[in-house]
Amino acid sequence: MAVDDASEAGELVERRVVDLIGRLMEFWGFKAVLGRVWAVLYLSPSPLSAAELGERLSLSAGAISMALGELQKWGVVKKAWRPGERRDYYEPETRIWKMVSRVLRERELTLVHEVISTLESALKQNAQARGRATPEEKRRLRFVERRLQTLLTLARVGEGLLNLLASGEPIDPQPLKRLFEGEEA
């Protein structure tokens, strides 16, 4: 294989991986461009400037600037210094687990906490309504309460799992197994 062929093959592989990481980030609820920018930096042996990123990804300076700002906010890209250079260069966070655990803590756990709070509030409101309900309505509200309790248990198990994942602790699957098999946890 000639040098040009090897270079083209390497660029093709990089483009495929960059696009794959972009799709993966999009699947997780982030903009695909964030994954693509991070992937280009991750696959680069040295820090890159915004202009170099824009050229490699065929993106405008504005799109690159916005992506870099958001990636810096998440702590997955940081500025790097190059001796003798005045422009900013960027490098990726290379500790993958650090990035994943931050997203788990700041995004997923925040949502789970909101779910728990809403379910606890719904249970209180349900109990208040049951206190002044007809006998038939009380049966329906008890049924709803059991279902809300199951959802709350699931949310708390999810919270525990996310906390364990974010901390790197081992996970005991038994509470989840019981919950999904229909047993009360």
35-89 per-position pLDDT tens digit? 999 999 999 999 999 999 999 999 999 999 999 999 999 999 999 988 888 899 9
Question: Are the CB atoms for 34 and 70 separated by under 8 Å?
Answer: yes
Q: What is the pTM of this model?
A: 0.72
pLDDT of residue 2: 60
Neighbours of 47 (CB within 10 A): 19
Instruction: State in Å, rounded, how far the first CA of the chain is from the last one.
Output: 61
pLDDT of residue 182: 64
pLDDT of residue 55: 95
Residue 180: is its pLDDT beyond 80? no
Residue 184: is its pLDDT beyond 70? no
Confidence of residue 185 (pLDDT cuts 50, 70, 90): very low
The model's pLDDT over 102-141, given as tens digits with 9 standing for 90+, comes to 888 888 999 999 999 999 999 999 999 998 999 999 999 9
Query: Which runs of consecutive H residues, i.e. helices, occur in the chain?
Result: 3-27, 32-43, 50-57, 61-73, 96-103, 109-131, 135-167, 174-180
When comparing pLDDT for 138 and 2, which is higher? 138
The model's pLDDT over 143-162, given as tens digits with 9 standing for 90+, comes to 999 999 999 999 998 898 88
Residue 13: is its pLDDT beyond 70? yes
